[in-house]
Structure 1
Amino acid sequence: MVEIKAEPFAFPLRRDKLALIVIDMQRDFAEAGGFGASLGNDVSRITRIVPDVKRLIAGFREAGLPVIHTMECHRPDLSDLPPAKRNRGSPALRIGDEGPMGRVLISGEPGTAILPDLAPIDGEVVIEKPGKGAFYATPLGDILKDLGIEQVVFAGVTTEVCVQTTMREANDRGYECLLAEEATESYFPEFKRAAIAMITAQGAIVGWVASVNAIVEGIAHA
């Protein structure tokens, strides 16, 4: 068995049981004029990780391992958008409103699309999710089961919200979870640090964290 250098201890890689899930690397969260920016966030923190996410995806593709992408979005009629999610706070734009890149977080709109540098290729699964966690109201669980996956590497945004939520969902379902440290980010650096601390506490209670280099090298040499 190959081990990947990780915290709080080495990750026991089972290469033929491994998949990558890239969470919500969408234009609305990463580009000026998108939903994230409309909330007053510094979206440059998200675009900064694109090269590392791209390198991680490339490593999985080269190894012939599954890459799964998620997008947070809703149906055009908003039938899967709870009022509690749409109506909270006083944002400049609400989900479903018309923005500079089309209707905010609506399936098929330009702003909902994955960033071009990280776009899925033919054969890669894309999950449209209405919630923060990628298992809720999606076929992700069945897809992972059909692929025989037991271990999942996570990348994407934001670390403390959609990434951590999906990791916790996966952990509860029995998956071993590994977070790629430079390939995830938050609008708030202290939130990323706190999320990683919570994930890795108490002997990897939710999962492990490792560098992109360690992960890519591990799967290449397994």
Structure 2
Amino acid sequence: MRPGHVDLRRPDVPPRAVTVGALPQDLTLDLTRTAVVVVDLQNDFCHPDGWLASIGVDVSGAGAPVAPLLETLPPLRAAGAGVVWLNWGNRPDRANLPPGVRHVYDPDGESTGIGDALPNGSAVLTEGSWSARLVDGLVPAPEDVVVSKYRMSGFPDTPLDSVLRRMRVDTLLFAGVNTDQCVLATLTDAAGLGYDVVLVEDLCATTSPQFCTDATLYNVRQVFGFTTTSAQLRAALAAS
């Protein structure tokens, strides 16, 4: 850019092709047009002092993706893939939450719902609170992008789609919790918007029964996209 002239061309990035073992077929991806979307690995969903645990949900397995994520994200970044951290972080005044969404998380109107205080004083799923913070051990890199969401899916009423298109991303690798809820809802919307979607099985977890994961994997492979594992991703990166 200079006075009297603006160059609107985007810089060309040399492709970085990698072939990954996946289901129902192996995949070849351009990692420079790929981003990892990490969904809701935050205290309210994963920590024993968080919201889900406070209402009696067993969250003991929700943090399982943390260790493989810490092993997988650095080589993906080094290969040119982007990373987007997508956490539920609602407005403190809850002004953008319709009654139906508030009801789901506080069905009797007298329980601890979105924006209410936990025993530790944190406001449930509220942007800027401990509740919405990533679990210990996960720290965004300077080049990563952080987006707040307000529904099961990360696309409605958020800048997620704009961010991904600015990154010139075509393929999304999905990680986070819960596999069958917020991860699946975001993946489904992404597929509908034209992104190629890949669920990374061991980078996801859920507090739901096993049959929910089984159904999610079946549907992702059958009608939305593909599934792979972090070990398959790392092996592909090492081979390339």
Classify the TM-score, shorter chain.
over 0.9
Extract structure 1 runs of 4+ deviating beyond 6 A: none
Partner of 1:199: 220
Shift of 1:220: 4.5
Q: Does 1:105 align with 2:128?
A: no
Q: Is the 8 A contact 2:24 2:227 kept in 1?
A: yes
Give unmatched runs, 5+ long, in structure 1. Answer: none
State the shift of 1:42 in Å.
Answer: 1.2
* Equivalent-residue separation in structure 1 for 2:61 and 2:193 (angstroms): 31
Q: Which amino acid aligns with 2:181?
A: V
Q: How big is the shift at 1:38?
A: 2.4
* 1:117 maps to which of 115, 123, 137: 137
Given the alignment of the two structures, is residue 169 of structure 1 paired with residue 189 of structure 2, yes or no? yes
Check the 8 A contact 1:34/1:101 in 2, yes or no.
Answer: no
More helix by share: 1
> Cα gap change, 1:207/1:60 in structure 2, threshold over 3 Å: closer, same or farther?
same
8 Å contact from structure 1 (residues 105, 112) kept in 2: yes
Deviations 1:18-75 (A, max 9, x none): 1111011001100112111123221111122211122222232232421100111210
Contact 2:177–2:204 (CA under 8 A) maintained in structure 1: yes
Relative to the length of structure 1, the TM-score reads 0.92
- Counterpart in the other structure of 2:233: 215
SS in 2 for 1:112: coil
Alpha-carbon distance in structure 2 between the residues aligned to 1:101 and 1:185: 27
Relative to 1, partners in 2 of residues 1:101 and 1:57: Cα closer, same or farther, differing over 3 Å? farther
**Paired residues of 2:172 and 2:198 also in contact (CA < 8 A):** yes
Say if 2:31 and 2:80, in contact at 8 Å, map to a contact too.
Answer: no
Partner SS state of residue 182, structure 1: strand
Larger radius of gyration: 2
Mapping of residues 72-151 of structure 1, within 5 Å: 72-88=88-104, 89-90=107-108, 92-99=111-118, 100=120, 102-151=122-171
Equivalences, count: 219
1:167–1:207 contact (8 Å) kept in structure 2: no
Amino-acid identity (%): 28
TM value normalised by structure 2 = 0.86
Q: Which runs of 5+ in 2 are unaligned?
A: 1-16
Taking only aligned residues, the RMSD between alpha carbons, in angstroms, comes to: 1.6
- In structure 2, what is the equivalent of residue 61 of structure 1? 77
